Amino acid sequence: MGEGGGEIHAADLEPSAEHRAEFLRLLALRPVPQDPRRTLHLDPEQLPRLQPAWPGRARPGAAAARGAGADGRHLVGLRRRRAEVRRRALLGAALLPVPALGQGIGDFPNRPVRLICPYSAGGIADTVARIVQSKTGEALGQQLVIENRTGASGALGAAAAAQAPADGYTLVMEGATTITSPLVNKSLPLDYDMLLPITQLTSAPYVLGMRAGFPATDLRGFLAEAQRRPGEVTFGTPGVAHIGHLMGELMQAMAGVKMEHIPYRGGADVARDVAAGRLDACFISESSFRPVVESGRGKVIGLTGAGRRANMPEVPAIGEVLPGYELTTWILVFCPVGTPEPIQARLSTAFQAATGDAATRAKLDATGSDAVVAGPAEAQAVFRRDKAVIGRLMREAGLLVAR
């Protein structure tokens, strides 16, 4: 526009080069985050700069434009188009990628993940959890926090996980108790169908351990003593309906003996009482019983698997004395039902990174466990298979209590 207020041109309504540069600078500052956890923030002090180039007063020549006929109508249309461009620009900025409630796995996990171990510290479940903890946390990019929550043969810890939000931040590790407990206990604090396996960590036989000073030297002698003194020989396990309990009940049924079962909160507690001479025997993990053997206060007299293990070739499988006896255990990681499948996969992949690591596998092998690399589908297949097998064994052994 001429300084004397002469003829109006459309170009006169365009923002100055200075304002255009400022507008482009602000657009260039908009965040396009590499990390989806970053959040878009618009400084309110910058917003007025996105307004027309003449804030607080009428645009030059506005009155003349209103009476300028066709040229005025053209300029009004131009202003409307420019307003629409600004509106769309602001709308586009509002739609930039930012975290939202429905974005799924994009930023998962953005805080520590809790893994509940429903058994006492020092037992096999706790040992396995702490062996895989570091590598799993590295793969997740967040800390994996182990929480020991014991009681009710693992059911209290499992219930805490089942009742947690299905968002992937609370998991529980469990063995075959998830199968046996509902078959023998009518008053559980949860329905195990509320939990879904997402990976398998280990597979392993248990050991039949015997205290020092017991009047027997091997498995045959132990069973003979139990037969001679019905109901007097004691054996401990990590809990009622724990897989160790089932192993003991199955051995009694197949050998025709009667022993007294003493349930504990975890394998480490069982091992301490065997070492102290308060228990005659136990069905627990090799790692839980190893301190008893190393201290000379007990010995392993049988394995629950199909054969002998390379690290203890002198110890027979129970099936060598009781043909057909075989029962191993595993540790699966469960999430609450309803957890989104992409989050299940993300968690499973992180645990697989741990169990697939050579150093981690060596540590697990030292506990008497075989590391397993398994995704959700494989873990769920193992669970379904063993649920059928264990249910059949318990029916045949007359162990079903809950009807």
Q: What percent of the chain has pLDDT over 70?
A: 73
Residue 361 pLDDT greater than 60, yes or no: yes
The whole-number pLDDT of residue 78 equals 45
CB 196 within 8 A of CB 337: yes
Tens of pLDDT, residues 306-348: 899 988 999 999 999 999 998 889 999 999 999 999 999 999 9
**In terms of pLDDT, which residue wins out, 271 or 88?**
271
Cα separation, 97 vs 132, in Å, equals 34
| Residue in 331, 329, 328, 333 with CA at minimum distance from that of residue 195 | 333
Q: Please work out, in degrees rounded to the nearest 5, the angle formed at the alpha carbon of residue 203 by the alpha carbons of 198 and 209.
A: 135
Cα separation, 128 vs 370, in Å, equals 11
Give this prediction's pTM.
0.62
The three-state (H, E, C) secondary structure of 210-223, written as one string: EECCCCCCCHHHHH
The whole-number pLDDT of residue 26 equals 47
Q: Going edge to edge, which strands form the sheet with 370-371? A: 144-148, 113-117, 170-174, 328-336, 195-205, 370-371
The whole-number pLDDT of residue 246 equals 85
The whole-number pLDDT of residue 24 equals 47
CATH superfamily of 113-205+329-396: Bordetella uptake gene, domain 1 (3.40.190.150)
- Contacts of residue 403, defined as CB under 8 A and 6 or more positions apart, other chains included, come to none
Average pLDDT over residues 201-226: 97
Give the mean pLDDT of the chain: 81
The whole-number pLDDT of residue 1 equals 43
The whole-number pLDDT of residue 104 equals 56
φ, ψ (nearest 5 deg) of residue 114? -100, 125
| Residue in 87, 77, 148 with CA at minimum distance from that of residue 119 | 148
Residue 10 pLDDT greater than 80, yes or no: no
* Structure token pair of residue 355: 């169990």
How many CA atoms, within 13 angstroms, populate the side-chain half-sphere of residue 133?
Answer: 17
Residue 112 pLDDT greater than 70, yes or no: yes
Q: What's the CATH fold of domain 207-326?
A: D-Maltodextrin-Binding Protein; domain 2 (3.40.190)
- For the ranges 136-145, 186-195, 362-371, the maximum mean pLDDT occurs at 136-145
Cα separation, 83 vs 13, in Å, equals 12
Identical fold between 113-205+329-396 and 207-326: yes
Reported as a pLDDT band with limits 50, 70 and 90, residue 170 is very high
Residue 222 pLDDT greater than 80, yes or no: yes
Tens of pLDDT, residues 60-96: 444 444 444 444 454 445 455 545 545 544 444 334 4
- For the ranges 184-188, 273-277, 305-309, the maximum mean pLDDT occurs at 273-277
Peptide bond into 197 cis (omega under 30): no
* Structure token pair of residue 270: 């069982």
Burial class of residue 209 in the structure, from the number of CB atoms within 10 Å of its CB (0-12 exposed, 13-18 middle, 19+ buried)? buried
**Residue ranges of the domains in the chain?**
10-94, 113-205+329-396, 207-326
* Structure token pair of residue 368: 């008497």
Tens of pLDDT, residues 374-402: 999 999 999 998 898 888 877 876 777 64
Chain centroid to Cα 351, Å, comes to 8
The whole-number pLDDT of residue 63 equals 43
